[in-house]
Amino acid sequence: AQSVTQPDIHITVSEGASLELRCNYSYGATPYLFWYVQSPGQGLQLLLKYFSGDTLVQGIKGFEAEFKRSQSSFNLRKPSVHWSDAAEYFCAVVGVSNYQLIWGAGTKLIIKP
């Protein structure tokens, strides 16, 4: 069965520092992968997605993610975080149904001043 693992429940980084959020997936074929961000009390906003092609994808708000098939990973990165990046981040993969998103449990990002 497809699954998504986000190993870090919480991550704390200083403002201006670099960020990497980990995501590992289990899926037999080429996956469609997504990163969403959820600010407190808000809905889900798509940061970026990978369907095919270049394995390094650029998203909004200065985020990028790299698809590594050999490691079954799709880690999210940002070179310099801002206080407004404090939120919860979810990695998701489209399952064999082609429409059902399988979600990780999320990583809460805390920004230290």
CB 68, min distance to other proteins, A? 21
Q: Which of residues 3-22 bind other proteins (CB under 8 A)?
A: 4, 6
Give how many residues touch other proteins by CB under 8 A.
25
102 contacts other proteins (rule: CB under 8 A): yes
Take residue 99 and report the two structure tokens written for it. 């429409």
Footprint on this chain of other proteins (rule: CB under 8 A) = 4, 6, 32, 34, 36, 42-46, 49, 51, 90, 92, 94, 97-106
